[in-house]
Chain A
Amino acid sequence: GNSVTQMEGPVTLSEEAFLTINCTYTATGYPSLFWYVQYPGEGLQLLLKATKADDKGSNKGFEATYRKETTSFHLEKGSVQVSDSAVYFCALSDPYNFNKFYFGSGTKLNVKP
């Protein structure tokens, strides 16, 4: 089956620290992988995506590389800001049903000034 496992939070960092949020997946076939961000009281926003192995998605200083050999899609940012405080969800699309996504449990990031 298809599933996504994320590191448990919350993750608390000081401003300008390096961020890694781990995400691993299980899938039949070759899914696309996504990171979504949810700010308090809001819906989810697509942060970045990768559609095939070795692709690197990037946006707003965040990066994640689709690693087929380790079935991972870890989110990284070199220098976090207070405004990055949010919940981050890793997700994959069902390789045989593009309309069906599987979300990880979410990781809350708190960035302190």
Chain B
Amino acid sequence: DTEVTQTPKHLVMGMTNKKSLKCEQHMGHRAMYWYKQKAKKPPELMFVYSYEKLSINESVPSRFSPECPNSSLLNLHLHALQPEDSALYLCASSQPERGDLGGYTFGSGTRLTVV
């Protein structure tokens, strides 16, 4: 199994809603990532978890709250988002010490629209 699975594929939420994005991998990778991608732009790193511990937070607003319940799962909890947060949210995984050798494996993303 060499996939990173993200759910849901599409999400529309209001600015007062609370929702969660989910990501799952079964490749034995111990680093997992959240990226945000706006249209026609490269992915921007949000968070990195290494061995289930948050290792990088790229100054992301607190309305985004990551969680890594175990080595296979990564969640992104959303609360009080703004319309400008609408984007494609990508999850990825890699071996923590050697992400530079194998690169990332990305999921297909969740297309989020905030109304």
* Residues of chain A at the chain B interface (Cβ within 8 Å): 31-32, 34, 36, 41-46, 49, 51, 89, 93, 95, 97-101, 103-106
Contact = CB atoms under 8 A, between A and B. Distances in A.
Contact of B109 (A36, A43, A49, A93): A43
A105 B41 contact: yes
Contacts of A100: 45, 48, 56
Interface size class for chain B? 20 to 34
Contact of B106 (A32, A44, A93): A44
Given A98-B100, A99-B56, A100-B56, A43 B42 contact: no
Interface of B: 4, 6, 31, 33, 40-43, 45, 48, 50, 55-56, 90, 92, 94, 96-109, 111
B96 to A, nearest CB: 6
Contacts of A42: 108-109
A100 B56 CA distance: 9
A106 B99 contact: no
Given A31-B100, A93-B99, A98-B99, A43 B108 contact: yes
A69 to B, nearest CB: 21
